[in-house]
Amino acid sequence: MEKKILAIACDHGGYELKEAIKAYLDGKNIEYVDFGCSGESVHYPEYAHKACAAIQSGQCYRGILVCGTGVGMSMAANKHKGIRAACCSDTFSARMTRAHNNANVLCLGGRVVGAGLAIDMVELFLNTEFEGGRHQTRIDMIADFEN
C-alpha cells in the first residue's frame, strides 16, 4: 500500500487552528508535512503554493490549508493544475466535497470554525471515498477546462 502523507499549511489567521488539527493528526498517527507558517504575518498564497506543489509532485496525497476564512487559501490552491480545493465550514460539505467532487484539498477558516468542528471536517475529508460514476464525468470536465 502506498504511504499517504498529508500536506498542511496556514497563514497567520489560521495558525491556531492548524496547530489544533496537527494535534489531532498526531493523536491518530496520521503523517503530514507542515509547510508553515509559524504564526507570523505572511502572505497565504505562498503557503498554499508550497502545499499544492507537494500534492502535484506526489510527495503528499491531499492537503489541508487554513487561513482566516479559508476562502483565500482555496482561491490560491485552485490556481494549481490538478488541485480541487474546497472551502468548507460544515460537515455535510466536507463529506460531499470528497464523495462527489473528489477534492484533494480542504480549506478551513480559523476565524470561522472552532477546533471541534474543524476536526470533524478533517476526519470526514480524510475518510470519505470518492463515489466516481457520474461524478467522475464532472471531474473530467473540470480537468478539460484546466488543460
CA 132 – CA 139 distance, rounded (Å): 9
Mean pLDDT, range 47-70, rounded to an integer: 98
Strands 62-67 and 6-10: parallel
Question: CATH: 3.90.1150.10, 3.40.640.10, 3.40.50.1480, 3.40.1400.10. Which one for 6-146?
Answer: 3.40.1400.10
Mean pLDDT, range 93-119, rounded to an integer: 98
Of 10, 37, 60, 67, the catalytic one is: 67
DSSP state of 91: H
pTM over 0.85: yes
100 is catalytic: yes
C-alpha cell at 3: 504511504
Sign of CA dihedral 129, 130, 132, 134: positive
pLDDT score, position 39: 86
pLDDT score, position 13: 97
So where are the chain's domains?
6-146
pLDDT score, position 61: 97
DSSP state of 6: E
The proportion of the chain whose per-residue pLDDT surpasses 90, expressed as a percent, equals: 95
Structural contact between residues 107 and 97, judged by C-beta atoms closer than 8 angstroms: no
82-99 pLDDT, tens digit per residue, is 999 999 999 999 999 999
67 is catalytic: yes
Where residue 3 falls among pLDDT bands split at 50, 70, 90? confident
